[in-house]
């Protein structure tokens, strides 16, 4: 049975690691200062690869350290091998690293093994047969939402990266019960399967990091997708979002609002704006009462968001009593919506209002503007006041959104 062969192999590799961990060994840099490989990573991979090749000469092997020839196509049986997942932990902490092995047959991962070498914990999964930890069956995942989830997250999200803007993930960190960066993807997924964490998010992983852990999570009823909810592929780097069905849905629906392309984001600039004509059309999208918009334009400061030369959004800040600033008429060009430009402008408004000495930011919207009410609350705004029939009394006429009549004005505030 292939699984017992794999377990035996992994245990043997584990023994080799435990024997060598306190000896001196060479460390080499791969792509960057956090991407290291030691002699031991290589020796362990060689041991694993040689045994697989001897027993299953027709199988292909995709190993992190490149001991075997990398397969061109994922046909037949393919082994994904990470001899030490969490090399930095291995070097610095001498624990919390794993041997991760997955076996894919004709494009489908059938077996996954994650072995925590120092804790002697073997997590195993077979597609359709469930998952176990040291032989004990793992039970179905409990459903969680971000607000009650204890998360494992790769800390690189705080820095600009090619996958996702830090400001999209920040609310997840803020809203969750707590976040940890454990530094070993396969183990974090295995812990998720065992209910020790409730979600895992990383910006970049390779197939040998997640192939085994993904099956473990799926076998206890969890979901593993990219940060944009797409199926995970096994042919290169990918982001990974894993957790119970409700956790993944919550992240997708309420946090990762839309796919942000790496190209669209970096050249977004938000600058002060002087002339009314150019932003008029945008501002009246936010407030159809043009006379009022005009007045606010004179009274406050206007900022526009630019992608190259294209004006894609605008907002205004108006000073109110008591170190308060009101954010008014924040609008994004319809064809540029859902690209997080709104979030970027809101963040910009917070920064500018703070720089102007503001202590509180105020924003008002309609009772029927459900999306906006969600958007502001996610950005840390709380309900402050309601002015009933404001829109009726101010001549807005009959406006309906989401099946609701626009009537009352809702104001929200957040401290700066």
Name the minimum Å distance from CB 203 to Ca ion: 17
Contact 146, 176 (CB under 8 A): yes
Per-residue interface string for the shown chain with Ca ion, residues 221-260, x marking contact by CB under 5 A: ----------------------------------------
Name the minimum Å distance from CB 202 to ligand 2AM: 6
Per-residue interface string for the shown chain with Ca ion, residues 67-86, x marking contact by CB under 5 A: ---------------x-xx-
Residues binding ligand 2AM: number (CB under 6 A): 16
The answer to the question of residue 209 lying near Ca ion (CB under 5 A) is: no
The answer to the question of residue 64 lying near Ca ion (CB under 5 A) is: yes
The answer to the question of residue 211 lying near ligand 2AM (CB under 6 A) is: no
Name the minimum Å distance from CB 351 to ligand 2AM: 30
Q: Which residues contact 294 (CB under 8 A, 6 or more apart)?
A: 276
| Six token digits for residue 236 | 């290169």
The answer to the question of residue 21 lying near ligand 2AM (CB under 6 A) is: no
Name the minimum Å distance from CB 140 to ligand 2AM: 25
Please state the three-class secondary structure of 68-96 as a single string. CCCCCCCCCEEEEEEEEECHHHHHHCCCC
What is the maximum alpha-carbon separation in the chain? 82
Q: Which residues contact 275 (CB under 8 A, 6 or more apart)?
A: none
The answer to the question of residue 110 lying near Ca ion (CB under 5 A) is: no
Nearer to Ca ion (CB atom), residue 214 or residue 414: 214
From ligand 2AM, Ca ion, none, interface partner of 204 (C-beta below 5 to 8 A by class): ligand 2AM
CB-count exposure of residue 118 (10 Å: 0-12, 13-18, 19+):
middle
CA 58 to chain centroid: 37
| Dist CA 165 CA 345 (whole Å) | 13
Nearer to Ca ion (CB atom), residue 81 or residue 283: 81
Interacting positions 130-189 with ligand 2AM (CB under 6 A): 154, 183-185
From ligand 2AM, Ca ion, none, interface partner of 363 (C-beta below 5 to 8 A by class): none
The answer to the question of residue 188 lying near Ca ion (CB under 5 A) is: no
Nearer to ligand 2AM (CB atom), residue 211 or residue 346: 211
Beta bridge partners of 112: 102, 125
Per-residue interface string for the shown chain with ligand 2AM, residues 98-137, x marking contact by CB under 6 A: ----------------------------------------
Which H or E run contains 386? strand 382-387
| Six token digits for residue 173 | 């960190």
Interacting positions 218-277 with ligand 2AM (CB under 6 A): 237
From ligand 2AM, Ca ion, none, interface partner of 185 (C-beta below 5 to 8 A by class): ligand 2AM
From Ca ion, ligand 2AM, none, interface partner of 81 (C-beta below 5 to 8 A by class): none
Q: How many CB atoms lie within 10 A of CB 286?
A: 18
Contact 19, 25 (CB under 8 A): no
| Dist CA 185 CA 381 (whole Å) | 34
* Dihedral Cα 400, 403, 409, 411, nearest 10 deg: -130
Name the minimum Å distance from CB 85 to Ca ion: 5
What φ, ψ does residue 268 adopt, rounded to 5°? -75, 125
From Ca ion, ligand 2AM, none, interface partner of 154 (C-beta below 5 to 8 A by class): ligand 2AM
**What is residue 154's three-state secondary structure?**
coil
The answer to the question of residue 86 lying near ligand 2AM (CB under 6 A) is: yes
Contact 180, 151 (CB under 8 A): yes
Contact residues for ligand 2AM (CB under 6 A)?
Answer: 31, 35, 64, 82, 85-87, 154, 183-185, 204-206, 209, 237
Contact residues for Ca ion (CB under 5 A)?
Answer: 64, 82, 84-85
């Amino acid at each position: 049975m292939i699984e017992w062969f794999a377990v035996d192999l992994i245990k043997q590799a584990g023994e080799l690691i435990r024997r060598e961990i306190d000896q001196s060994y060479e460390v080499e840099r791969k792509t960057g200062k956090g991407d290291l490989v030691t002699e031991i990573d290589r020796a362990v991979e060689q041991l694993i690869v040689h045994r697989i090749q001897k027993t299953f000469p027709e199988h292909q092997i995709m190993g992190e350290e490149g001991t075997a020839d990398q397969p061109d196509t994922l046909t037949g049986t393919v082994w994904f091998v990470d001899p030490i997942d969490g090399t930095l932990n291995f070097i610095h902490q001498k624990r919390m690293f794993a041997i991760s092995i997955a076996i894919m047959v004709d494009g489908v991962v059938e077996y996954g093994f994650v072995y925590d070498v120092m804790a002697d914990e073997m997590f195993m999964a077979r597609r359709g047969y469930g998952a176990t930890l040291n032989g004990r069956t793992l039970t179905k995942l409990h459903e969680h939402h971000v607000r009650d989830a204890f998360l494992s997250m790769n800390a690189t999200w705080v820095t600009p990266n090619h996958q996702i803007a830090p400001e999209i993930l920040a609310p997840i960190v803020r809203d969750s019960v707590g976040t940890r960066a454990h530094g070993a993807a396969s183990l974090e997924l295995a812990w998720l399967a065992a209910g020790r964490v409730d979600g895992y998010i990383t910006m970049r992983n390779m197939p040998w990091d997640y192939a085994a852990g993904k099956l473990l999570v799926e076998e206890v009823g969890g979901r593993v997708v990219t940060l944009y909810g797409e199926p995970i592929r096994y042919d290169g780097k990918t982001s990974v979002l894993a957790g119970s069905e409700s956790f993944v849905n919550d992240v997708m629906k309420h946090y990762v609002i839309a796919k942000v392309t790496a190209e669209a984001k970096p050249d977004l600039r938000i600058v002060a704006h002087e002339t009314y004509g150019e932003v008029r059309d945008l501002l009246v999208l936010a407030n159809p009462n043009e006379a009022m918009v005009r007045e606010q334009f004179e009274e406050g400061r206007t900022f526009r968001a630019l992608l190259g030369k294209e004006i894609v959004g605008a907002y205004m800040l108006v000073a109110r009593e008591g170190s308060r600033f009101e954010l008014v008429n924040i609008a994004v060009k319809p064809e540029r919506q859902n690209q997080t430009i709104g979030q970027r402008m809101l963040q910009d408004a917070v920064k500018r209002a703070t720089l102007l000495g503001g202590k509180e930011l105020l924003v008002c919207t309609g009772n029927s503007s459900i999306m906006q009410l969600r958007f502001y609350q996610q950005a840390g705004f709380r309900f402050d006041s309601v002015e009933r029939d404001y829109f009726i009394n101010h001549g807005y006429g009959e406006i309906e959104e989401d099946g609701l009549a626009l009537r009352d004005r809702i104001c929200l505030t957040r401290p700066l």
